Amino acid sequence: MKYLSILPYYAQDNYPHTRVLPKEKSIDYFIETYKSMKQFSDIVVGVQNDIDYKDLTSLELDFYIAKFDEHTVPPNHLWHEIVKYVQNKVDSDFSKYEFFFYNDADQIVYINIKDDIELIMRTDSNIYFSPQRLEQLPIDKIEARLIKYNSPAKQVVDYKGKFKENDNKYIFSNHLDIDEEMQLYEHNNKFYKCTTKDNAYGSAHLCHRELFVKVPYIFSSMQPGEHIAGHNLFDMENITCLKSVNNFDFYVDHLSGYHSNQQL
């Protein structure tokens, strides 16, 4: 394997600043995320409590698990701790990996142009990739969602997701705003440059080893997961974030996004 994927996992309900799901949903979503990434990557999962550790190890899946001390690592620090843990082992335990992929544990990954992505990262390690982010959307919430995020209607699509309910639609989130112009990447028109932090976000990022070791992953008390998942990279100087022009070339199905969309 050339890839190492990093997944933080937290499924408890005793911390006010983490959005959580019923445990059975968290486990189901983790399994589907794991299955999608295991096709091309080895995986390291970070947990910070005994219950999550026991739940995941009982699955008997093939991944490495890093358990942190819940007395010193609160839940909102987990994202930061797991990426720093991997960074510190890049030259030892994880020295064989060329590409590092951070993802949330509720996002099924689809990467259909991996060769193009690898070539670009090998040519310029200051480029990283963020996936398009697909979410299930109840039909009666479409208008509210488009208005709230200033999204074009064309981002609403028909899609047969793993956990699709009824005749729901799906929407690509964190995409270009209605009035935002796409800036194509000059060396490969399958990708465009992300010029805003919101557009660059996908709650995941894929980068070359040379960039991964340089990222200053910094804990933030506001949106701690968002900073680790993408904002820390976007804020670096001389770093470029690319997304696929074709939404379905590189994307994630953000499973828990459906539960937020139901509340619109």
Read off the pLDDT of residues 61-112 as tens digits, 9 standing for 90 and up: 999 999 999 999 999 999 999 999 999 999 999 999 999 999 999 999 999 9
**Average pLDDT score over residue span 20-46:** 93
Q: Name the residue among 133, 141, 202, 144 with its Cα closest to residue 168.
A: 141
Q: What is the pLDDT of residue 12?
A: 85
Answer yes or no: are the C-beta atoms of 207 and 239 closer than 8 Å: no
In whole angstroms, give the CA distance from residue 105 to residue 227. 16
Q: Is residue 257 classed as helix, strand or coil in its secondary structure?
A: helix
Starting at the edge strand found earlier in the chain, the sheet holding 169-173 runs 107-111, 250-254, 132-137, 169-173, 156-157
pTM: 0.95
Name the more confident of 13 and 134: 134
Domains and CATH numbers, the chain: 3-261 (3.90.550)
- Average pLDDT of the chain to the nearest whole number: 94
Residue 17 — pLDDT band, cuts 50, 70, 90? very low
C-alpha separations of 223 from 23, 131, 216, 230 in Å: 22, 19, 16, 11
Model confidence at 14: pLDDT above 90: no
